[in-house]
Amino acid sequence: MYDVIIVGAGPAGLTAALYLGRACRKVGIFDNDQPRNAASHGVHGFISRDGILPAELRAISRAQLATYPNVEVHAATVVAAARVDEGFEITLENGTRHRSRKLILATGLKDELSPVEGFSRFWSKGVFLCPYCDGWEVRGQPMVVHSRGEIAYKITRLLTSWTQNITLCSDGPAELDESQRKELALAGIQIIEEKLARLEGADSLERIIFADGTQLECKAIFTRSAQQQPGELAQQLGCKIDQDNFIPSNEAGATGIPGLYAVGDARTLAQQVVLAAAAGAGAATLINQELVTEMFKKLVEAV
């Protein structure tokens, strides 16, 4: 019986494990080693670790956790989760079951990239999600926003921090109102609504080819991909996934189901390594406070 089970060993899950381990809690982490940022060439914005390879960051984190005998890291896929009288029970792919008093879902998200030829090939080699994560490396160069509507307008404005050479390619109707179109035009930002045919380049992205045969030189595309939960653990536990495919929870990660927390990318659009780590720390401290309160109450009642 664990005090806390954590599903997912990304920045959020590993940080939560570290905090709980140092609070003398018995922790079990279960991870299937399919990190969302596996293709990334570096983690950025994480002080003291800027530019580190994601795999290296995970290795360092796990090595540090290994110094805590009360923290166990398991390479395993969790296929089911349920609430039980003692708290929670998870089931692994091999049928093994484990129980805990509290449960953290740090399972991240799955990106569904555009089916346009080249998006998958140039993923992290010119096709990106977050300018804070990857904008510096392509600063001052031609960039494209691949999105529609309000979010396209916001991302396009945001990119002016990194370059003045921006084109909004909406791959169909841009879904902007007249005031948004006017603002972008005044800022010198072109809007192309022609459908995309493919992306081209040698080792990295170089150009977009449109369905009408025209092309646009660019070094980076910032897109807003569809995102899905990687499994149904949250639903199995009674959570109703919201319209953006996030697990509803408060700022501390509490889901509304007693003892169940969601941290990191699984619950928020603010998807950066440093923010995920902070979320893991915040949830862990709150969980430990809950465990202390529960244990203290039993001690008092036993007198």
Same domain, 268 and 282: yes
Domain with residue 184: its CATH number is: 3.50.50.60
Yes or no: say if 177 and 192 are a contact pair by the CB < 8 Å rule: no
Of 223, 241, 276, the residue that ends a domain is 223
Rounded Cα distance, 234 and 108, in Å: 12
What is the pLDDT at residue 303? 65
What is the pLDDT at residue 35? 84
Same domain, 120 and 98: no
Same domain, 17 and 54: yes
Greatest CA separation for the chain = 81
Same domain, 242 and 267: yes
C-alpha gyration radius of the chain: 22
Q: Give the pTM.
A: 0.90
Rounded Cα distance, 66 and 18, in Å: 10
What is the pLDDT at residue 40? 82
Of 169, 202, 223, the residue that ends a domain is 223
Same domain, 107 and 232: yes
Of 194, 223, 252, the residue that ends a domain is 223
> From the first residue on, what is the mean pLDDT of each consecutive set of 10 residues in the chain (303 residues)?
97 97 98 84 89 93 97 97 95 97 94 92 93 95 97 96 97 97 96 98 96 97 88 94 89 93 84 92 96 88 74
Tell me the residue range of the domain where 181 lies. Answer: 114-223
Domain total of the chain = 2
